[in-house]
Amino acid sequence: MIHFTFTMEEVGNWSIENDTVMGGASDSTITHQETEEGDSMKFAGHVSLENNGGFAQTTHLYVSGQDISAASGIVVRGHGDEKKYKLRLETDTEKVSYSHEFIAGESFECTLQLSDFKKVHHGKEVPDKPDLNKENIKSISILIGNGKEEDFTISLMELTTIS
């Protein structure tokens, strides 16, 4: 099961991975916020296309794989900037992640069906790769990379699997 309500402790277990790992120049931060609605994680920054860059990402790694085999989907809830983001899952299968797009509206709640996640590698679909192994999720990420230079801000309130 995956369940985040983005307490200060939970936000401390997320990290940033921008295109700088490949020479890009994008920049982002994550911060814990307390609002009247509850805790949230603010992921904000600037996506740059400089040096063949173009993405910013925040990731939670699991020490041991998470089993979400009983889940049919993942609910993402928060506040956003009307931009397109991707929720990404990774397993121990090399050179593939499993990705689903969503729009982070001013106030949003999106249900992403696991059966609709696409198999991708470096942003390109790779349909010949194995299907998602729901018994061994190694990481979960939120990524923005829309092929253009842009500022972004998304505040995540909840991320949870559903049956």
Task: Reply yes or no on whether the pLDDT at 63 is more than 90.
Answer: no
The pLDDT score that the predictor gives to residue 94 is 84
- Structural domain tally of the chain? 1
Each residue's pLDDT tens digit, 73-104: 999 999 999 999 999 999 988 889 999 999 99
HSE of 156 in the Cβ direction (CA atoms, 13 Å)?
Answer: 30
CATH number at residue 114: 2.60.120.430
Place of tokens 């842009």: 150
Task: Reply yes or no on whether the pLDDT at 123 is more than 90.
Answer: no
**Domain of residue 106, residue span:** 3-162
Rounded to whole angstroms, the Cα distance separating 59 from 61 reads 6
Query: Which residues touch 22 (CB under 8 Å, ≥6 apart)?
Result: 52, 53
Three-point CA angle 148, 129, 18, nearest 5°: 30
The pLDDT score that the predictor gives to residue 111 is 98
The pLDDT score that the predictor gives to residue 22 is 86
Q: Where do the DSSP E strands lie in the chain?
A: 3-4, 14-16, 27-35, 38-47, 56-66, 73-79, 83-90, 97-104, 108-113, 118-121, 124-125, 137-144, 150-162
Each residue's pLDDT tens digit, 133-155: 999 999 999 999 999 999 999 99
Mean pLDDT, the chain, integer: 95
CB 98 within 8 A of CB 143: no
Of 37-46, 59-68, 137-146, 154-163, which range is least confident? 59-68
The pLDDT score that the predictor gives to residue 142 is 98
